[in-house]
Structure 1
Amino acid sequence: MDNSVLLKVNQLKKTFIKKSGTVFNRKKTEVYAVNNVNFEIKKGEILGIIGESGCGKTTTARMVMRLMEESSGEILFEGNNLCTIKNAETNRLRKNMQMIFQDPYDTLNPGMRIVDILMEPLNAHEKNLPSNEKLKRVIEAIESIELKPAEDYLYRYPHQLSGGQRQRIAIARAVILKPSFIAADEPTSMLDVSVRAGILNLLLDLRKKMGLTMLFITHDLSTASYMCDRIAVMYQGRIVEIGPTKKIIQSPSHPYTIALVSVVKDLNYFIENREKLILDGEVDSTRKDTGCTFVTRCPHQEKVCHSKAPEIEALGNGHAVACHCHSNWLEKTS
């Protein structure tokens, strides 16, 4: 693996079994949550994964963080295949891999004080550190998330903090071990609009100060464009387009990405031209590999789209798309 690459995901897949029917006639259907996903993240880079609910972006992050076991594939972190190493080795690496969850109201124990919440990672991974040094690290972590003076927050409980302050504490818990990689799963979606920008700027500032590498999960293209160096667009468990943020925003090549960008750029245009951009429908994760994942919602589908799943095609400069007829699509929508 390239030394500049911190995390690499190869052919990652996650399936679940969905049961349906009556007691006497039970049916089992294989559900594809993540289907042959490939990407890599270089050291110091932020890769965003965007897509609508149910597309598999959070499942991907949870598998990377070893909170969920994959069905097949490999996850390489610092040259180690996380899918095959033993639990003891995973626990050692976990110090360098931390996660920020979506809901700050659910991720902090309401019965614990902030000082105790932030002590937990240190107690687990740096047991030999003296108590006074642990307290010093806690204070430094609180100040790093711009809650000052730190002493005013040490002995509070989560319910005594606002939503934005809680998420800042969740971020402090993630960075207190000085990790090299963070997975942020929609860290601002549960917050008031007025505090979202502050959290995003805090993450960018921490990235600069600590040299963090991030996997940033979001359904909001505008947030991804602000935060990320590159963006991967996911639909029905597959990455349908990936590339530098500027390329994705200014020159989208997959019909699904074009629809997403249209919503952000000009909502009136999207509403007036919706039928030309995307057909009504929802993600159907029970579909097999018999064709393009987007075929049922693509207004310009062709015969090949129903019979063959498109492979990711390189367009140059790190930009790639999985679409049989993206060139025709661009001509029709330009």
Structure 2
Amino acid sequence: MTNSKKTHSQEALITVKSLVKRFEKKQGTIFRRTKSTVHAVNNVNFSIKKGEILGIIGESGCGKTTTARMVMRLTKETSGQILFDGQDLCQMGERELRRARQEMQMIFQDPYDSLNPGMPILEILMEPLNAHKMEVPFEEKRKLVIEILEHIDMKPAETFLYRYPHQLSGGQRQRIAIARALILKPKFVAADEPTSMLDVSVRMGILQLLKSLKEEMGLTMLFITHDLSTAAFMCDRIAVMYRGNIVEIGPIKEIISNPTHPYTKALVAVVSDLHHFLGHRHEMILDGEVQNEVVQGGCPFLARCPQQMDTCQNSIPKLEQLSNDHYVSCFHLHPESLISANKQAN
């Protein structure tokens, strides 16, 4: 879903509309405290079609993890809608959310933190079953645990049941985290940089496992990453995020072959031609970092854009359709938006 009138709600499992998240940040000493507003997510719109993997890519601090946590109801939104199979999660009570959570699971970034070190693997994997399927007998739950362990290639499964997380490798721990997310056979999974904490040698195995499980189980997935090459391997479409805003969204092949927003061009150049990127960096993107605390009325990419105009300082460009299912937020690419912004300013 984008800001365009065109929608795919009839096919979408997840639809996010005008999603906003702001945090209040206190600064200064105990005698002189000041508050600033952190704009973590700003008016984000997208949809994820059934059976699709949508990636969100961007630098640390751009709002991608906060977006995923809001979709999973781990963080409350400031405003907006999150529809799951047509039902607004933001309006659900705790009992309704409990039912929905059986069909929505999250894989966290760090398996060292997400697994309880004091519990054996059998108990870790039984936790979701005990929470949502209390009526199922213990032996049947144990059988489900063994089945999911074999499904993630941890064989023979019985040899892992009574091990603790510290007795496993990093890759094995992340496989357990994946198994815990999938044991309830959810419709939707959010994966928050699931390989970033792992050794390079085991990352591809985890990514291939996720792709195969997605196909076998018919999963719909939101995949968070800062690595474009990982997104290219995993995702059907990607949304490029900067300072809490989606600046470009479209099919992965089109984004890589035809990056359009200045920020997307810089991300693609890093992967495709690092030396060229370093040698001509000033032409593509200015030095700087993501600064969500700075409040301005203009384009979120203004401070680092080499193509900025006067209008960019006063107006925020909207996502506009560039081609089929490809949307970009930039005045340079949509002159009609520039004309409209100038009229509003005057």
The SS at the match of 1:33 is strand
- Equivalence map 1:189-268=2 (5 Å): 189-268=196-275
Contact 1:289–1:309, Cα closer than 8 Å, also in 2: no
Amino acid at match of 2:272: K
Rounded Cα–Cα distance in structure 2 between residues aligned with 1:10 and 1:287: 24
1:93-122 deviations in Å (ceiling 9; x for gaps): 000000000001111111100001001100
Amino acid at match of 1:192: D
1:145-176 deviations in Å (ceiling 9; x for gaps): 11111111111110110000000000000000
| Aligned residue in 2 for 1:331 | none
| Aligned residue in 2 for 1:278 | 285
Structure 1 ranges of 4+ moved more than 4 A: none
Rounded Cα–Cα distance in structure 1 between residues aligned with 2:323 and 2:39: 29
Where does structure 1 lack aligned partners over 5 or more consecutive residues? Answer: 329-334
Query: What TM-score results when the alignment is normalised by the length of structure 1?
Result: 0.96
Rounded Cα–Cα distance in structure 1 between residues aligned with 2:145 and 2:275: 48
1:196-243 deviations in Å (ceiling 9; x for gaps): 000000000001100000000000000001000000000000000000
Amino acid at match of 1:184: A
Residue of structure 1 aligned with 2:311, choices 301, 304, 318: 304
Contact 2:15–2:82, Cα closer than 8 Å, also in 1: yes
| Aligned residue in 1 for 2:146 | 139
Amino acid at match of 1:124: A
Task: Check if 1:79 corresponds to 2:56.
Answer: no
Contact 1:119–1:138, Cα closer than 8 Å, also in 2: yes
Amino acid at match of 2:191: A
Amino acid at match of 1:29: S
Rounded Cα–Cα distance in structure 1 between residues aligned with 2:296 and 2:84: 28
Paired-residue identity, %: 65
Amino acid at match of 1:255: P
Contact 2:320–2:334, Cα closer than 8 Å, also in 1: no
With over 3 angstroms needed to count, the CA separation of the structure-2 counterparts of 1:109 and 1:23, relative to structure 1, is: closer
- Equivalence map 1:156-175=2 (5 Å): 156-175=163-182
Rounded Cα–Cα distance in structure 2 between residues aligned with 1:286 and 1:2: 33
Amino acid at match of 2:320: E
Rounded Cα–Cα distance in structure 2 between residues aligned with 1:31 and 1:90: 27
The SS at the match of 1:326 is coil
| Aligned residue in 1 for 2:133 | 126
| Aligned residue in 1 for 2:162 | 155
Rounded Cα–Cα distance in structure 2 between residues aligned with 1:271 and 1:148: 46
Larger displacement relative to structure 2 (288-297 or 93-102): 288-297
Where does structure 2 lack aligned partners over 5 or more consecutive residues? Answer: 1-7, 336-346
| Aligned residue in 1 for 2:61 | 54
The SS at the match of 2:247 is strand
The SS at the match of 2:207 is helix
Rounded Cα–Cα distance in structure 2 between residues aligned with 1:143 and 1:162: 17
Query: What TM-score results when the alignment is normalised by the length of structure 2?
Result: 0.93
Task: Check if 1:29 corresponds to 2:36.
Answer: yes
Rounded Cα–Cα distance in structure 2 between residues aligned with 1:277 and 1:3: 38
| Aligned residue in 2 for 1:291 | 298
| Aligned residue in 2 for 1:6 | 13
Residue of structure 1 aligned with 2:75, choices 58, 68, 92: 68
User: How far did residue 78 of structure 1 move?
Assistant: 1.2
Rounded Cα–Cα distance in structure 1 between residues aligned with 2:198 and 2:38: 31
Rounded Cα–Cα distance in structure 1 between residues aligned with 2:107 and 2:67: 14
Rounded Cα–Cα distance in structure 2 between residues aligned with 1:172 and 1:227: 18
Residue of structure 2 aligned with 1:103, choices 110, 113, 116: 110
Contact 1:255–1:326, Cα closer than 8 Å, also in 2: no
Rounded Cα–Cα distance in structure 1 between residues aligned with 2:29 and 2:198: 42
Larger displacement relative to structure 2 (77-86 or 49-58): 77-86
Amino acid at match of 1:204: K
Rounded Cα–Cα distance in structure 2 between residues aligned with 1:272 and 1:20: 38
Rounded Cα–Cα distance in structure 2 between residues aligned with 1:26 and 1:132: 57
User: How far did residue 326 of structure 1 move?
Assistant: 3.2
The SS at the match of 1:8 is strand
Rounded Cα–Cα distance in structure 1 between residues aligned with 2:83 and 2:296: 25
| Aligned residue in 2 for 1:332 | none
Residue of structure 2 aligned with 1:93, choices 100, 103, 106: 100
Contact 1:19–1:26, Cα closer than 8 Å, also in 2: yes
